[in-house]
Amino acid sequence: MHFSVSGVTVAPWVPPLVSFCISFLTSTGGVSGAFLLLPFQMSFLGFTTPAVSPTNLVYNVVAIPSGIWRYIREGRMAWPLTWVVVVGALPGVAIGGFLRTGYFKDEKSFKVFVGFVLLYLGLRMAWDLLPWAKRGKEKSRQAERRFNERFAEIRRSGDRSARLEGIKTLSFTPSRISYEFYGEVFTFSTIGIFVLSFAVGIIGGIYGIGGGAIIAPFFVAVFKLPVYTVAGAALAGTFITSVFGVAFYQWVLPHFSPSYVPVRPDWLLGLLFGCGGLCGIYCGARLQKYMPAAIIKWILAFFILLVAAKYLGLTKYIGF
């Protein structure tokens, strides 16, 4: 099957199968699959024009909503955090789009950029698995322990009407955000979240990811927030910024880019990836408790760092 926008020729079952496998593995490890899907499109499908970035965002738009609905039903959406992420990231995505079609429009410079992003993600994932990475997170661990205990209690009781406690917003001001989660109060800077989201939005706009895989580790490592309370906000922020990014690449950037530079997404290819991702994320979430997440993360970190080394031209030094 030939995809005219991207120029890719591939069997129609390959994109959904690949995205299913990627999203299944990454969702069990708590990581988005979009950042791995883009290297596949570049290195295996030969899709290297700026249009690959919004095509990757289409994957997010299709694959993410079911995950957001799950977090909303469980009361694990920190809405103040979500809105600050969105407001900060949207202008960053627009700037990233202009940079993608300008400075990073050629394949070589874009691969170097992708290599550095993957290098950070791989090292961050490996660091989070080390024992000393858990220091200074006692409040988060206590809240997460209580959440797990309550969840286990509900499962044992078989009471389908029983509900998990949600996130309780205590304050939301231009300077501070505060919420309670299972007996622990977490307070952090609104401005700090905004600045971080703006920077991540730029990276996401260039790369073609919503930024959840980048911003969520910062929430946990720097702001010391429980992963159970930031995952929903990061996912919702990724979805909304991806919708904006796709629209920006589709209708705005073509007016500012040379006609020979393709910037509009390949909708059909992106939808096929998204359908596979939707099924993969659902299956990964359902089977997560039966799989060793730490082992999966170590495997993912290894392959992410290997791809990063390839794009940065370092593989010749490590024997690959």
Residue 189 has pLDDT above 80, yes or no: yes
Residue 263: which domain range?
11-130+138-153+165-318
Task: Please report the pLDDT score of residue 232 as a whole number.
Answer: 84
Highest mean pLDDT among 67-76, 158-167, 194-203, 302-311: 194-203
Quick: pLDDT tens for 110-164.
999 999 999 998 898 888 878 777 666 677 777 767 777 776 777 677 666 656 6
Task: Please report the pLDDT score of residue 316 as a whole number.
Answer: 63
Task: Give whole-number Cα distances, 320 to 38, 110, 268, 307, 317, in Å.
Answer: 21, 21, 34, 11, 8
**Does the residue 298 lie in any domain?**
yes
> What mean pLDDT do residues 290-296 have?
66
> What mean pLDDT do residues 286-293 have?
62
CA 52 to chain centre: 16
> What mean pLDDT do residues 69-96 have?
90
| Count of domains for the chain | 1
Using pLDDT thresholds of 50, 70 and 90, give the confidence band for residue 272. Answer: very high
Q: Spell out where 190-306 has E strands.
A: none
Task: Please report the pLDDT score of residue 108 as a whole number.
Answer: 92
Higher pLDDT, 92 or 160: 92
Q: Spell out where the chain has E strands.
A: 2-3, 8-9, 168-172, 176-181, 184-189
Task: Please report the pLDDT score of residue 284 as a whole number.
Answer: 75
**Does the residue 52 lie in any domain?**
yes
**Does the residue 1 lie in any domain?**
no
Highest mean pLDDT among 27-31, 72-76, 77-81: 77-81
Quick: pLDDT tens for 7-66.
999 999 999 999 999 988 877 655 668 989 999 999 999 999 999 999 999 999 999 887
Task: Please report the pLDDT score of residue 19 as a whole number.
Answer: 95
Higher pLDDT, 211 or 151: 211
> What mean pLDDT do residues 242-253 have?
96
CA distance 305 to 301: 6
Using pLDDT thresholds of 50, 70 and 90, give the confidence band for residue 72. Answer: confident
Residue 247 has pLDDT above 60, yes or no: yes
Task: Please report the pLDDT score of residue 153 as a whole number.
Answer: 78
**Does the residue 5 lie in any domain?**
no
- State the DSSP code for 185: E
Mean pLDDT, all residues of the chain: 86
Using pLDDT thresholds of 50, 70 and 90, give the confidence band for residue 224. Answer: confident
Task: Please report the pLDDT score of residue 233 as a whole number.
Answer: 87
**Does the residue 2 lie in any domain?**
no
Higher pLDDT, 8 or 165: 8
Q: How many CB atoms lie within 10 A of CB 271?
A: 18
CA distance 181 to 165: 8
**Does the residue 257 lie in any domain?**
yes
**Does the residue 73 lie in any domain?**
yes
Using pLDDT thresholds of 50, 70 and 90, give the confidence band for residue 274. Answer: very high
Higher pLDDT, 6 or 132: 6
Higher pLDDT, 309 or 157: 309
Whether 266 contacts 10, CB under 8 Å: no
